[in-house]
Each structure stands twice: as C-alpha cells, then as structure tokens.
C-alpha cells in the first residue's frame, strides 16, 4: 500500500506539487504557441508559409514526443526523474530562445523544449494516479483538481503574449522561462512526496540503462533540430509514420479479426483516429492562421484600448471551455436520467458540425472585411464560443474510445496512435496555413488578407460539415462496437 501524506481535503501532498508543475508547464507551452507565428512573421522576417510550417511543426513534434518520454520513463529513468529532466529541458530551451535569435540555435532551443515536454507530459499525469491505491474513490476528484491546473496555466499564458507584444519578444520568452523555473523549483521541493508513490522508482534503470536513456534524449534533440531545419525531411518522417501506423493497425486487425468483440472494436478505433486527424488539422488553425487573422482583420479595440492578439487567443478558448464544460456535463446528466444522452459516436459527430459552424462564422467575418474595414471583435467571440464547445465534446473521445475499445495488451499502442493523429493534424495544419499564405507585400492590406482567409475558413467549415455527414454513415457501426465493448466488460467482470 502506498504511503500518503494527507492534507486538508484528504489528498496526498504530492498532488499539489504536480498541480503546480503542470500549471507552469502549460503556462510556458501555450505562451510560446500563442506568440510563435507572430514572432516568426514580425521578428524573424518569415513569410506566412514559413511561419505556418514552423508553428505546425512545433505543435506536431510536441504531441509526438510523449511517446518517447513515456518509453524512457517506463524502461529506464522512472516517472519522477522524467518529470524533473523534462522541466529542466523546457527551462533550458526557453533560455536559448531568450538569448539567441540565430535560426539554427533557435531551432535547437525549440527541439530541447519539445523533447522536455515529452518527458514531462508522459509522466506527470501518471504520477497523479500513483498517489492513490486502486479503487480509491478520491482519484476522480484528484484528476479534476489536476486538470484545473492545466486550464489555469492556459489562461495565465496570456501574460506571456502581452509581454511579447507590448514590451518585446525577449520579454515574452523571459516570462515563459521564469514560469517554468518556478514550476521546476516547486517540483524539486515536492519530489520527496512523489518518490514514495512512484511504482517504477525501485526498478528504474541504472548504468547502461541510464546511458541508453541519456543517449536517446540527446539523439532526439538532434533529430528534432534537423526536422525544424529541413522541412522535406519532416514531411517524409510524418508520411513514414503514417504508413507505419496504418500497417500496424491492419496487422492487429488481422490478428484479432476472429474475436467477436475486437473484429468490431479495432476498425472503430481506426475510424475515430482518422476523423480525429481531420478535426485536429482544422483545430490546429487556432495557433496558425487564426492568429494572423485576428492580428490583421479583427478590430481589437475595447474602450479605446487595443487588445493584444495573443490575449484573445489565450483567453477566449480556455475561458469558454471553463464556462461551458460544467454546463455541458449537466446537460448530459439531465439527458442520461431520461435515457436520451447521445452516445460517444454521436457526440463526436456533433463536434464536427459545431466546429464547422465556428469556421463558417470566421469566414463570414472575413467576408465582412472585403471592403478593407476590420471585422467585429464581438462576432469573433461568438465564433470562439462555438469553437470551444466542439473542443469539449471531441477532446474526451480519444481517451474514452481507447479505454472502451482497445484490447488491454494494445492500449498503449492505441493511445499512442490517438496522440499521433493529433500530431499529424497539427503538422498538416501548418501546411494548410502555408497553402493559403498572404503575399508578404499585402499583409497590411485588410481587404486582400480577408479574401485569402475567407477561402481558407470557408474550406475548413465545409470540410468539417462534409466530414460530419460522412461520420453519420458509420455511426451504427460505431454504436455496435461500443455495445459489444460493454458486453465484453460485463463478461470479464
């Protein structure tokens, strides 16, 4: 039985150290994501295409890195050390971005942050679970508290954007580094509580195992730096990984095709992952083209004060998520009592239509600016309100479908495949922004920018609506897979 140090409200003290560490990591991550494309276009002199690919690549590699981080934590260094090393690397990468603006070193700084994030993110939530014994009723409340830290950090990241836009880019990176420094210090202070709970600490690798771990980290930083430097190699790598994932999924389907449950569940997971990738391509626009759209098209004046672009990006979506999430939860509970709560496939399908609606609102805003007049901030807020609603409904599907549908012996691979779909979507999102980039000579022409964004957002909206319609065609198959999953669980119990 794990040892616990109880504090008021009955939770182990380690939970609050993890809460703070994750909050500051998200503060740093979303702070950088919100300023990255503006920093690239305004400070580095990138055109929209180069900046979009940089932002998409950074997000994509960050979503891939937990696969490596989780493997290293499980096999060699343990979760506690993985979080510590990850936080140290994120801080170091931010310092590199702060002190040097030459491209190779900046890409190196981004690569250090990416790999560090993979180490931290793959283990911090695992440690939350390890603080409690199996069946402990407090664990759900613990994750609720933990995820509050994520949302607080996301909203707090508006300060990074404000400092970057109003004081200077160096000030934004400095604040991001400072936030991660605080998170690291807090984590180091709390490590003694976490080591008591870590399942893998006693068997963490030593000697050659640690050399393998450190070598893998160094090699990964070098590889990610190269991928930032050479776009063609990055495209090749993402294509190769996609082929590997598809082939592996087909292999597992052939392996389990004679099982009455898994012959339905594995194709269902493939459908979810495929449609999720499309969703993530367009969701990724929030940190790509939507940032440029707000900066160039939206009238951000409020009572004579112009809101920073990054404030709108970092505040609106998480703010509306926090407002809507409990309301949506109550709606589902109300419908459940009456036997009318939508199934997981239906919720996912609704999320596609809802996000499609948000992009059509953005397209309408762009249309309003054809006459070179900036569009309304209020209409944009409505679009983000709708955007956030789709995010809430879609975000739970991946974790839910893996838990319900994946064979236990493949749950790690299936979860990794879901994360890969997010990474793939983020990467393609950057390519999409590049495809609809504005001519560098016309970025200050509101009317010209509006025409380009009208095309992009119109295509995004229509694509999501069509995707939703296609999803409706397979809802029955997905429902059957979920019903069989429930039966399978009952049989095993």
Q: Which run of H or of E encompasses 213? A: helix 208-229
Reading phi first (left if > 0) and then psi (alpha if -120 to 50, else beta), residue 277 is in: alpha
Q: How far apart are CA 12 and CA 471, in angstroms?
A: 43
Q: Which run of H or of E encompasses 257? A: none
State whether residue 101 is helix, strand or coil.
Answer: coil
- Number of alpha carbons in the 13 Å side-chain half-sphere of residue 19: 17
Q: What are phi and psi of 190, to 5 degrees?
A: -95, 0
Query: Is pLDDT of 200 > 50?
Result: no
State whether residue 107 is helix, strand or coil.
Answer: helix
Q: How far apart are CA 168 and CA 84, in angstroms?
A: 30
Average confidence (pLDDT) over 26-50: 92
Highest mean pLDDT among 73-82, 377-386, 400-409: 377-386
Q: How far apart are CA 267 and CA 282, in angstroms?
A: 23
Q: How far apart are CA 360 and CA 379, in angstroms?
A: 12
Cβ pair 361, 382 in contact under 8 A? yes
Within a 10 A sphere around the Cβ of 239, how many other Cβ atoms?
Answer: 11
pLDDT the model gives residue 480: 85
Stronger pLDDT, 46 or 70, i.e. the higher one = 46
pLDDT the model gives residue 203: 41
pLDDT the model gives residue 7: 37
Average confidence (pLDDT) over 280-293: 91
Q: How far apart are CA 53 and CA 432, in angstroms?
A: 9
pLDDT the model gives residue 32: 93
Average confidence (pLDDT) over 437-465: 92
Highest mean pLDDT among 120-124, 128-132, 216-220, 442-446: 216-220
pLDDT the model gives residue 196: 64
Q: Which of 398, 156, 153 is nearest to 268 (CA)?
A: 398
pLDDT tens digits for range 204-233: 444 457 788 889 999 999 999 999 999 889
Domain boundaries, the chain: 1-229, 231-493
pLDDT tens digits for range 398-426: 666 666 777 766 766 777 787 888 899 99
At the fourth CATH level, the homologous superfamily of domain 231-493 is MFS general substrate transporter like domains (1.20.1250.20)
Within a 10 A sphere around the Cβ of 367, how many other Cβ atoms?
Answer: 16
> For residue 483, what pLDDT band results from cuts at 50, 70 and 90?
confident
pLDDT tens digits for range 157-181: 999 999 999 999 989 999 999 999 9
Query: Is pLDDT of 439 > 60?
Result: yes
For residue 296, give both structure tokens: 């160039």
1-229 and 231-493 share one fold: yes
Stronger pLDDT, 488 or 339, i.e. the higher one = 339
Can you list the pairs that 468-472 forms with residues at least 24 positions away whose Cβ atoms lie under 8 Å? 468/349, 468/350, 468/352, 468/353, 468/356, 470/275, 471/275, 471/345, 471/348, 471/349, 471/352, 472/349
Stronger pLDDT, 225 or 319, i.e. the higher one = 225
Domain 1-229, CATH among 3.40.50.2000, 3.30.10.20, 3.50.50.60, 1.20.1250.20: 1.20.1250.20
Average confidence (pLDDT) over 347-367: 93
Q: Which of 233, 365, 349 is nearest to 289 (CA)?
A: 365
Query: Is pLDDT of 201 > 60?
Result: no
Highest mean pLDDT among 265-279, 352-366, 381-395, 398-412: 352-366
Q: How far apart are CA 408 and CA 270, in angstroms?
A: 16
Average confidence (pLDDT) over 247-263: 84
> How big, in percent rounded to 5, are the helix, strand and coil portions of the chain?
85, 0, 15
pLDDT the model gives residue 84: 92
Cβ pair 183, 18 in contact under 8 A? no
Q: How far apart are CA 354 and CA 437, in angstroms?
A: 25
Rounded percentage of the chain residues whose pLDDT exceeds 70: 89
Query: Is pLDDT of 3 > 50?
Result: no
Q: How far apart are CA 474 and CA 46, in angstroms?
A: 42
User: From the centroid of its chain, how far is CA 391?
Assistant: 11
In the predicted model, what is the mean pLDDT of the chain? 85
DSSP 375: B
Task: Please write down the HEC assignment for all residues of 297-364.
Answer: HECCEECCEECCHHHHHHHHHHHHHHHHHHHHHHHHHHHHHCCCCCCHHHHHHHHHHHHHHHHHHHHH
Rounded percentage of the chain residues whose pLDDT exceeds 90: 40
């Amino acid at each position: 039985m794990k040892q616990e140090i109880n504090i008021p409200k009955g939770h182990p003290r380690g939970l609050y150290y993890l809460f703070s560490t994750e909050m500051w990591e998200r503060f740093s991550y979303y702070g950088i994501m919100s300023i990255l494309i503006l920093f690239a276009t305004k400070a580095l002199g990138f055109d929209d295409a180069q900046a979009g690919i940089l932002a998409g690549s950074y997000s994509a590699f960050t979503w891939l890195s937990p696969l490596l981080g989780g493997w290293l934590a499980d096999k060699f260094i343990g979760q506690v050390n993985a979080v510590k090393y990850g936080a140290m690397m994120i801080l170091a990468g931010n310092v590199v971005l702060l002190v040097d603006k030459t491209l190779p070193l900046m890409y190196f700084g981004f690569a250090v942050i990416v790999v560090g994030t993979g180490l931290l993110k793959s283990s911090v939530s695992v440690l939350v679970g390890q603080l409690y014994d199996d069946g402990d009723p407090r664990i759900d409340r613990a994750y609720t508290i933990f995820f509050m830290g994520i949302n607080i950090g996301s909203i707090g990241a508006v300060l990074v954007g404000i400092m970057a836009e109003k004081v200077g880019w160096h000030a934004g990176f400095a604040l991001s580094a400072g936030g991660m420094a605080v998170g690291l210090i807090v984590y180091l202070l709390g490590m003694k509580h976490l080591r008591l709970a870590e399942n893998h600490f006693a068997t963490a690798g030593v000697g050659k195992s640690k050399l393998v771990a450190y070598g893998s980290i160094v090699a990964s930083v070098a590889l990610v730096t190269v991928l930032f430097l050479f776009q063609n190699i990055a495209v090749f790598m993402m294509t190769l990984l996609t082929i590997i994932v598809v082939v592996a999924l087909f292999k597992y389907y052939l392996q389990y095709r004679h099982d009455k449950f898994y012959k339905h569940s594995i194709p269902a997971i493939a459908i979810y992952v495929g449609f999720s990738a499309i969703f993530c391509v367009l969701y990724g626009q929030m940190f790509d083209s939507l940032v440029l759209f707000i900066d160039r098209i939206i009238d951000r004046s409020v009572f004579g004060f112009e809101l920073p672009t990054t404030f709108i990006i970092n505040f609106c979506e998480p703010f509306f998520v926090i407002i809507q999430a409990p309301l949506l939860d109550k709606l589902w509970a109300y419908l459940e009592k009456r036997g009318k709560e939508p199934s997981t496939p239906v919720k996912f399908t609704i999320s596609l239509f809802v996000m499609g609606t948000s992009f059509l609102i953005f397209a309408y805003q762009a249309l309003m600016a054809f006459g070179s007049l900036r569009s309304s901030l209020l209409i944009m807020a409505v679009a983000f309100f709708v955007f956030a609603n789709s995010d809430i409904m879609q975000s739970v599907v991946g974790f839910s479908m893996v838990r319900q549908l994946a064979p236990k012996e493949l749950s790690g691979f299936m979860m990794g495949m879901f994360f890969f779909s997010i990474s793939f979507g983020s990467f393609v999102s950057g390519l999409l922004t590049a495809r609809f980039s504005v001519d560098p000579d016309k970025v200050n022409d509101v009317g010209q920018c509006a025409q380009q964004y009208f095309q992009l957002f119109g295509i995004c909206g229509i694509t999501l609506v069509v995707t939703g319609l296609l999803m409706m065609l397979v809802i029955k198959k997905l429902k059957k897979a979920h019903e069989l999953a429930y039966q399978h669980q009952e049989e095993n119990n």
